[in-house]
Chain A
Amino acid sequence: MERPDLERLRTLVEGDYAAALERAYGAVGMERLRLLATALEAIHDQLAYELMQDGVTVFATIDPAQRPLDAGTTISATVARLPSLVRGRATIQVLGYDDLLVSTDDYDPFALAEEAVVYRFDGADHFVVDGALHEVINPTPFPSLWGTPTFFELEDALEFYRDSIALVCDCDILAEELWHDSDRRWILRNSPEDTMQHSLWRYLRQTLRGKNRVAEVDREQPVAGLRPPDIKITWSETTRIALIEVKWIGASVNKPGDGLSTFVPDESDANDGAQQLAHYLDANFRRAPNHQTKGYLVVFDARRRNLRFDTTELSYEDAMYYLMRDILWEPDHATRHDFADPLRCFMQPLRPAA
């Protein structure tokens, strides 16, 4: 284990928004923060990010009786009404968990902060502290800490990852570290598997409820000579274990970075991955028959049709050709009780030409 970086811990204390709010507003401000934060979760549950594209300010006044919004243009609402009221911008006073005053006008958050704990969302989370916007450290791939979806079922989490994260690389790891050409996303960087695994591991750690641990297991002992799958999820007080094997298909750049790698994994490699996982599950069952182990194969699909290293234009049809083309699984291991339907995560190019 690396020795923890205690200087980093000190830096975190200095930059923490909750600490800054306590300094600015004291104990009563912290109580208002608790109320505000609980409402933020409900507000983000209701409002998709596109409904907040021009900025939303949410606040709880230090004096609960204060009403700083113009009563003539403000209505009382529950959280459930927000999607029908908010179109791009809003200012919301939190009176109680499900008791809001809503204005679609844009109020100055700094003026409001003179008598309230003020949160501002403009693509990222901020609190107003000492006349400035204080950004909240957000380690999740989602724009808001309070808008992070959570899942009790691994299958739900994986499907959401496929449709909302991997498809558009809506995650800093995939967006910034995965591609040789991150401005268009046609060619993967050399040996991209670790980056994909990192993205999925971090996502599951932050969104999956009820689990004990989401661990990367590449350093575990092989079972019967077989390399273990990449991610292992355990649940407390049960014998349930999930093993996730990560594979990828598509073109990647070669090591020198001056051409495509000669290794271009395709459907056959994805099928090899499935076979490998099935063999591992068999060996693992013989070794630990009392565990309920289920295998999951996640295939990142970066295939583009008619792509060469020197390609400068790729038609929409070529860029998106594999979006709707599932892998033919032979044999189909998903007929096994311990093998989930493989999950193909197509990653689309950036702004494919129409």
Chain B
Amino acid sequence: MSAPTWAYDALRMCRGLEQPGGGATAAEVQIFAYLACLMWVYDGRQASDWGYTFSATPAGSPYARDLAATTDRLRARGLIVDRLAPRYRPNAATAAHSANGRSRSPEPRVLGVSPVGASELAALATLQSCSLRERYLEAATSAARLMPLPAITDAVTYEPGLRQALRRTAKTELLDTDGVTVVREQFEVVIDALRTHENQGEDLLVPTVIWVGFLAETAETDRRAA
């Protein structure tokens, strides 16, 4: 696996999160890429075949150095562009609050795909190595159409491997043999339950949102049990 897939992932994530969410922050790109990799594992593939590895930061967030470096390179080339984040997503319920004019710095930025980046994305999509990944990248980003984006990024931090890594202080490799065992056990339950129905299980968006919803619920359950 080489750089084209890294560039494809970075561009595809930024493009996929432009519509729901108004653009992703660099940290959100990392989390959604991790979710895509997890769904690759859900599909029975090996995490080691994803093309780049993730480690857990001491704060318990997934981080792929290769993806981050590629994103930075694409920004430098103008394929990915920084945009001012919406102050907050316009919302009829929040409109009354937008007049509060305190300036806060630094202004948060989100990543978008420039026209040149869109052309590059289209070109990369024709490569077999990239098109193979589309199913997973699409499912991860489309989850943000069905759930609030921050709720997804929060839930993913409760993925068993990341929670395990939180107890350690140094950066930890994610989705190694040990790390993937618990998550596979959860995926088996989803696969098994979906398999009982006909006409079910083809669209990866379904297990993605179910499993993310489960992670979010687990966080609540654990809190109440504590």
- Asked if B53 is an interface residue, CB under 8 A from chain A, the answer is no
Residues of B in contact, count (CB < 8 Å): 74
What's the Cα separation between A83 and B92 when bound, in Å? Answer: 9
* A2→B85 contact, CB < 8 A: no
Provide 22 A-B residue pairs closer than 8 Å at the C-beta atoms, listed in order of the A residue: A5-B221, A9-B211, A12-B214, A13-B189, A22-B206, A23-B200, A27-B202, A30-B203, A30-B205, A41-B145, A46-B92, A48-B92, A145-B147, A148-B151, A150-B88, A150-B89, A152-B87, A153-B108, A209-B85, A210-B28, A236-B26, A236-B30
Whether B222 pairs with A1 at a CB distance below 8 angstroms is yes
Chain B interfacial positions (CB closer than 8 Å to A): 19-21, 25-28, 30, 57, 59-61, 63, 68, 85-94, 97, 100, 102, 104, 108, 142, 145-151, 153-154, 157, 160, 163-164, 182, 185-186, 189-190, 192-194, 197-203, 205-206, 209-211, 213-214, 216-223, 225
Interface mask (A1-43 → B, CB under 8 Å = 1, otherwise 0): 1101110111011101011001100110010011001100100
Are B193 and A214 interface neighbours, CB within 8 A? no
Q: What's the least CB distance linking B24 to chain A, in Å?
A: 9
Contact B209 A18 (CB under 8 A): yes
Question: How large, as a class, is the contact surface on chain A?
Answer: 35 or more
Which residue of B59, B153, B205, B209 is within 8 Å of A234 (Cβ)?
A: B59
Count, A-B residue pairs, CB within 8 A: 207
Is the Cβ of A206 less than 8 Å from the Cβ of B151? yes
List the 7 closest A-B pairs by CB distance, nearest first.
A236-B27, A13-B193, A48-B92, A152-B108, A37-B145, A210-B25, A205-B154
Interface 1/0s, chain A 323-346, versus B by CB < 8 A?
A: 000000000000000000000000
User: Do A212 and B27 touch across chains, with their CB atoms under 8 A apart?
Assistant: yes
Residues of A within 8 A of B63 (CB): 236-237
Q: Is A109 an interface residue (CB 8 A)?
A: no
Asked whether, in the complex, the Cβ of A155 is within 8 Å of the Cβ of B102, the reply is yes
Do A22 and B200 touch across chains, with their CB atoms under 8 A apart?
Answer: yes
The listed residue (B91, B97, B164) touching A159 by CB distance below 8 A is: B97
Bound-state Cα–Cα, A106 to B148, Å: 28
Q: Check: A124 CB closer than 8 A to any chain B CB.
A: no
In the bound complex, how far is the Cα of B92 from the Cα of A19, in angstroms? 30
Tell whether, in the assembled complex, residue A236 and residue B57 are in contact, meaning their CB atoms are under 8 Å apart.
yes
Residues of A near B25 (CB, < 8 A) are 209-210
Chain A residues, Cβ within 8 Å of B94: 149, 160, 164
Instruction: Determine the chain A residues whose CB is within 8 A of the CB of B151 once the complex forms.
Output: 139-140, 148, 205-206
B214 touching A8 by the CB < 8 A rule?
yes
- Is A182 an interface position by the 8 A CB rule? no
Query: Residue A95 at the B interface, CB < 8 A?
Result: no
- Are A235 and B27 closer than 8 Å at their CB atoms? yes
In the complex, what's the smallest C-beta–C-beta distance from B191 to chain A, in angstroms?
9
Q: Tell me if A110 counts as interface (CB < 8 A to partner B).
A: no
Q: How far is the CA of A69 from the CA of B95 in the complex (A)?
A: 31
Residue A297 is within 8 A (CB to CB) of chain B in the complex: no
The answer, among B108, B145, B203, for a CB contact under 8 Å with A210, is B108
Considering the complex, give the chain B residue whose CB is closest to the CB of A150: B89
Q: How long is the Cα–Cα vector from A23 to B206 in the complex, in angstroms?
A: 11
Additional A-B contact list (10), CB under 8 Å, known A30-B203, A150-B148, A236-B30:
A6-B189, A9-B214, A38-B145, A48-B93, A140-B148, A148-B151, A153-B87, A160-B94, A205-B151, A209-B153
> Are A4 and B218 within 8 A (Cβ)?
yes
Chain A CB count within 10 A is highest, among B57, B59, B63, B205, for: B59
Cα distance A184–B178 in the bound complex, in angstroms: 52
